[in-house]
Amino acid sequence: MVRIIKFFAYFLFFMLALMYFMPKESIYHFAEKELQKQGVVIAHETVQERGLSLEIEHLQVYVKSIESATIDSVKISFFGLYNDIYAHNIVLSDAVASMLPVKIASVNINYSILHPQYILLNAVGEFGKMQVKVDLFHREIHAYLHAASIMQRHYRATLGNFKRIKNGEYEYVQSF
């Protein structure tokens, strides 16, 4: 019994040490280079490693050389079994202002090895609250939007892509 407890204690210590000493900033720069191949450029950011997480501030995101968004801060947490990306204070480009409100208060993206099939995303902004589940095995996106009143009044064309399911809630399903 003592051997099993020691094994799990050493294993836990090894995993925490591995995550703590992982070169998070190098992994971020590698991911940034891979995104550039897809036409997405992240510029003018400040990157800082913080133990088990990576904090990035003042990002400007360009897609195909067009400024698409500015993000105040992003925190990426690496826990091995559970990984989390939290973005705060996102302002989209004015080019999308005719389709949806441009201010997003926060976006939280989660991936757990306990549920490897799904990537979960929760967002809160002027549009309301949105929950998105990306099913990697079936290659589907399921989005549920609890639309704010501004969304229902000024962005009806965008809501036309969603299916109304109950009072103020909309569903969007898309294969990829």
Write 24-28 long-range contacts (CB < 8 A, 24+): 24/49, 24/53, 24/54, 24/76, 24/78, 25/49, 25/54, 28/54, 28/56, 28/76
Query: Model confidence over 28-42: pLDDT tens digits?
Result: 999 999 999 999 999
- Mean pLDDT taken over the chain: 94
What is the band of 15 on the pLDDT scale with cuts at 50, 70, 90? confident
Query: Model confidence over 56-84: pLDDT tens digits?
Result: 999 999 999 999 999 999 999 988 789 99
Name the more confident of 98 and 131. Answer: 131
Structure tokens at 95: 């080019």
Question: Is 168 a residue whose pLDDT tops 80?
Answer: no
Average pLDDT of span 152-157? 92
Determine the Cα–Cα distance for residues 12 and 4; give it in Å rounded to an integer.
Answer: 12
C-alpha of 105 from chain center: 13
Average pLDDT of span 152-159? 92
Q: Map tokens 């040490």 to a residue.
A: 17
pTM exceeding 0.75: yes
pLDDT above 70 coverage of the chain, percent: 100
